[in-house]
Structure 1
Amino acid sequence: MAYLVKQSHRAPAVTAPVPVDDSLPRACVIGAGSSGIAAAKHLHQAGVPFDCFEMGSDIGGTWVLDNSNGQSACYDTLEINTSCPRMAYSDFPMPEDYPPYARHDQVAAYFQAYVDHFGFRHTITFDTTVEDVSRAADGRWDVRTSGPGGTETRTYDAVLVANGHHWDPRWPDPAYPGTFDGEQIHAHDYRSADQLAGRDVVVVGAGNSAMDIAVESSSTARTTTWSVRRSEWVLRKFFLGKPSDQGLLPPGWVPWWVTALRLRIGATAAGSMTKYGLPAPTHKPGQSHPVQSERIRERLAAGAVTARPAIERLDGDRVVFVDGTSSPADLIVWATGYRVTFPFLDPALVAARDNELPLWKRAVHPDLPGLHFLGLLQPLGAVMPLAEAQAAWIAETLCGDYVPPADGDVRRQMAAEHRRYRRRFYDSPRHTMEVDFDRYLWDLARERTKGRARASS
């Protein structure tokens, strides 16, 4: 059964059953993380027949500590960088007793409650890996899976790819010259400060995970060095007593220059990082993905974290930096991001080069009908509401309630969107999927309205 939801601003509403319509196209959802469960929920509500495959035994993806699927980068102190109201699904608020920025276990519990409230847990097949997705002879999609029951291939009209993009670690390439006598791990494999205790730690990277790990290291390691190749504008999580994304970022779409101005105000209010030994960023606020930390300045000011520039070479039990300084090291934590990969898709069919995969509305490509990508974006905000909007759009498409524009229009829009975001953010693998949270929702809602009109004409 599927469910029709009566929305409430205060609490999840009562659901009413809607039968599955086997005359509709059959779909496959890959993954039961935050994007996959949004997809499953909307297909379930629309009565679309579908299967959802999850390689682990849990829902929630990266928000599940030590997820049995082996893909999670969750660590014990992880919390969201977007406030709860801005992260929640539109028809299922986060609990009112959650803090402004929920912990990973609270987020995981929220996803569990979401699945159970809308009643679609039975549609998820756990401990099952999608091994291959390929075009069938009739233009549909063959999906080969392996699980406790063995290997099986099923054919679907649509495949919704929701395998995430924070699971395949990107290491420095080429590797830094020299040799290193100690241990090297990627931030993906960091779980707790116990891994850092009593050690000489060098954390490499300028993102949120790098700052979190450096802060934790400063309380347990013998020494902590934070190596930053390119500085970022480090915002605080709170502004004038409110979560920054509620006080600084506007609700609803506004011109980009307004969002950039508010980010600039937040960066100015947070204070410069140059006094702690970091170079000034070479870009303006808003030209990169925002990073936030409430404690990194405090730990730098206390001397518990030492800031250094990019690495020049590795030298046995030390790391040498481009300014000629060096630090003792027996553990390097590479917080250097992730590669966008799809192990079940032929690279000749879909390949992200330097993490760059142009898509229309960050979800579909006109050369790949029936193949949809969810959550394959990096917003100035949380992915969940955007993946939810994508899921609702795809469900409308499969039900015949939405019709896309002509192929030429799709291609022109896709190219224009790609150029716009390339101009807006500085050139980096971390910005190939960047979007403006509010503008994206506004733009997709507008397109869905147009598509419904086309469908009814």
Structure 2
Amino acid sequence: MAPQRPLKSSKKTLQVLRPKNAGKKVQKKTPAASNLASLDNDLPDGYVLSQHPFYRKFRESLMVDREPQFAFYIGAIKVTYTRGIAAFGKGTMKVAVIGGGPAGLATLRFLARAHEYFPIPPIDVQLFEAESEIGGTFSYRVYEDAELVSSKYLTAFSDFRLPEDAPDFVTPQVYVQYLKDYATEFAIWSKIHCNTKVQAIRRGTDGVGHILTLMQDGFSSQWACDAVAVCSGINGNPVMPYVEGIERVPTVIHSSRLKSRAQFGKDTNVFIMGAGETAMDLAYLAVTSDAKSVTLCHRDGFFCAPKIIPVPQPMGAGPSNEGGRPNKPVDTSVASLFDTAYVHPKLQKSQLLWMYYDQWIKKMHWLISGTEEGPDQWVGQISTSRKYMDSILLCKSDKALPYMSAGKRSSSWANRVRSWFMNVPINDTDGKTIDVVTWPESIDKNGYVQFEKKLPNDSSIPQDQLKPDVMVFATGYTREFAFLDKDYPCVSQTNVRGIYKEGDVTLGFIGFVRPAIGAIPPLAELQAQLWVLRLLQDKFPKEVPNTRDPNALASYDLDYQIHSRGNYNFYETKRAVDHESYAYQLALDMGSAPTITYVMKKG
């Protein structure tokens, strides 16, 4: 068993270990409350009495679950503790936040400053991050030339923006620095514990409260609290689907381990497995590396929606805004007014709006590029059964697209006429291409890929002659919470807006929804606000009543989940949502969506 010691923190904590001065004469009687303050000053570093009366605070500050009865020292004071008397839910509220990414930091901030907005005592909230610094996947799963697929306008938190001089799409390094600046701005560094892994969480006595088992620098400790926010992110354990004969490929890695072009090697045949944003980024890295060929494999196509729609060229005269500003980011052009906001619930829940968006997007793409998929996407089409905008997770990385479409564009008379009137710019690929094929069924004894289903128009190379040297699986991650005891609900059971399970608000999952087009951090910020509000209403019903401001709309249910089509249900598997609808739903639930009358009065 690992040795036990308290957490490292800038804040003094109660230590359940015998201090150096424990050899002094022991006072058998627990000191009176009036003497506690003076005793605090005599304690060595790491030992502190935080609140009176002593036993109440100690029960809430319990860090170690040992024998049924054990003794510990506070300075020279010996105290005997009998397990089972811990009383959660009284005195100072304690909350644990797991994960130091955007979701965790936003949740920490709202909890740490809740007493500034409600008449409640300060909350003792601590954030535990397993890695050596905050930032989550933006710090540790980053590759060469990476940049965010959501714009700085949407990705930033509501009251702390990215710098004005930052590009529309920042690098992960810039975003991590932004998160550090956020922690500084709201003074939450002292509550962040890096290099601290949460190994287990179990219910407290009689199912009340939660006890965390933590590992820090090889030392194990436990921390008891009233509530837990799981903010560990959607990028958990890497997934690598098995392909028969995969052992015959010389190099097989997951995208989480690929950092630079050099890893593709020289004169190699590279296979990118997957068709999401990471797969597209890595395909671009591969085709601009020293690799001999690049092939991307997909299961049922993809729909590419570039972060910025290219400015079409009218009548072959060159870009229409040459020397001017480019188009604005797509994620800033998604309307919510009279779409999700201030729309009759029956209309919002109907298919009429989705039918309009579906036809608008497809026809506009065809007008400017000749294909209904992403602009200039001539390969990797989605099957007809699910090619509908209410069921698709859009791929917002498009650097690889010109290499995929090279040589595949229609040469029909109709397309030539259309492209003469208007067409997106065609980027020069210097003769390089990316082949797009279906998912391989197996790899034969000679190392060649075999396919169950062939799409001959997708590949310029006969599919029986594809022999990979390097295979990169950009196939995502599973959401696993091995640290949660078996009696806890999982994400799929969070029936209150995908945040917590009804009847157990003390365990929240923040940051586990994925917008079809949008950004996770601002949605996580709203999730954190709603969860903290419901938690406080449960803990402090008198101080934080569940009432609605007269200028706020009453809550009602919106249709915010991405729909299921063609045997694909991205809400069930990825918690996929429509960004604007989900954000408005959370605002309605919190009572922060103003009435149209109130908005008009404000001008």
**TM-score normalized by the length of structure 2:** 0.63
In the other structure, the counterpart of 2:478 is 339
Choose the corresponding residue for 1:288, options 373, 383, 392: 392
Distance apart, 1:94 and its partner CA: 0.8
For 1:17, the equivalent position in structure 2 comes to none
Return closer, same or farther for 1:338/1:267 CA change in 2, 3 Å cut-off.
farther
Residue 364 of structure 1 pairs with residue 500 of structure 2: yes
Q: Which amino acid aligns with 1:224?
A: V
Aligned to 1:436: 578
Structure 1 residues 180 and 276, CA gap change in structure 2 (3 angstroms): farther
Query: Counterpart of 2:233 in 1: which secondary structure?
Result: coil
Residues in 2 aligned to 1:432 and 1:357: alpha-carbon distance in whole angstroms: 13
Q: Which has the larger radius of gyration?
A: 2
The total of aligned residue pairs comes to 412
1:349 CA drift (Å): 3.0
Question: Which residue type is aligned with residue 291 of structure 1?
Answer: C
How far apart in 1 are the matches of 2:156 and 2:443?
Answer: 43
SS in 2 for 1:349: coil
Equivalent of 1:44, from 108, 112, 118?
A: 112
Aligned to 2:55: none
Q: In the alignment, what sits opposite 1:312? A: 441
Q: Which residue of structure 1 aligns with residue 281 of structure 2?
A: 212
- Contact persistence 1:186–1:334 (CA under 8 A): yes
CA shift for structure 1 position 267 = 4.7
Query: Would the aligned equivalents of 1:278 and 1:307 in 2 still touch at CA under 8 Å?
Result: yes
Asked if residue 448 in structure 1 is aligned to residue 590 in structure 2, the reply is: yes
- The structure 2 residue matched to 1:373, chosen from 485, 492, 509, is 509
> Residues of 1 paired with 2:545 and 2:137: CA distance?
32
Distance in 2 (CA, whole Å) between partners of 1:373 and 1:362 is 8
Per-residue deviation, residues 354-387 of structure 1 (Å, max 9, x unmatched): xx44431110002534100000111131111111
- Relative to its length, the structure with more strand (as a share) is 1
- How far is 1:135 from its partner? 1.1
Instruction: Give yes or no for contact 2:392–2:562 (8 Å, CA) kept in 1.
Output: no
| Mapped pair 1:62 → 2:164 | no
Per the alignment, residue 180 of structure 2 pairs with 112
Distance 1:435 1:164 in 2: 16
C-alpha separation between the residues in 1 aligned to 2:526 and 2:109?
Answer: 12
CA contact (8 A) 2:203 2:210 kept: yes
TM-score, structure 1 length as denominator? 0.82
The change in CA–CA distance for 1:266 and 1:443 in structure 2 (over 3 A counts) is farther
Name the SS for the 2:466 alignment partner.
strand
Which has the larger displacement, 268-277 or 158-167? Answer: 268-277
Residue 130 and residue 75 in structure 1: after superposition, are their counterparts in 2 closer, same or farther (change >3 A)?
same
User: For the residues of structure 1 that align with 2:525 and 2:246, how far apart are their CA atoms?
Assistant: 46
CA distance in 2, matches of 1:41, 1:154: 20
- CA separation of 1:41/1:326 partners in 2, compared to 1, >3 Å: closer, same or farther? farther
CA distance in 1, matches of 2:566, 2:211: 37
Gaps of 5+ in 1: 2-19, 68-72, 406-412, 452-457
How far apart in 1 are the matches of 2:439 and 2:380? 11
Matched, 1:98 2:166: yes
Report the Cα distance in structure 2 between the residues aligned to 1:327 and 1:30, rounded to whole angstroms.
44
Deviation, structure 1 residue 25: 2.2
Q: Describe how 1:205-244 pairs up with structure 2 within 5 A.
A: 205-220=274-289, 221-239=291-309, 240=311, 241-244=327-330
CA distance in 1 between counterparts of 2:564 and 2:472 reads: 31
Q: Secondary structure at the match of 2:237?
A: coil
> Is residue 448–residue 464 contact of structure 2 (8 Å, CA) maintained in 1?
no
Cα RMSD, aligned residues only: 3.0
Matched, 1:427 2:573: no
Return the letter of the residue paired with 2:136. G
Task: Measure how far apart 1:287 and its partner are.
Answer: 1.5
Task: Tell me the distance in 1 between the aligned counterparts of 2:567 and 2:591.
Answer: 32
Instruction: Please state whether the residue corresponding to 2:235 is helix, strand or coil.
Output: coil
Which AA in structure 2 matches 1:38? A
* SS at structure 2 position matched to 1:299: helix
Secondary structure, counterpart of 1:80 in structure 2: coil
> What is aligned with 1:299?
403
Name the structure 1 match of 2:83: none
Equivalent residue runs for 1:101-250 within 5 Å: 101-138=169-206, 139-148=208-217, 150-172=219-241, 174-177=242-245, 179-198=247-266, 199-220=268-289, 221-239=291-309, 240=311, 241-247=327-333, 249-250=334-335
d(CA) in 2 for partners of 1:377, 1:337: 15
Which SS does the other structure have where 1:387 is aligned?
helix
CA distance in 2, matches of 1:107, 1:214: 23
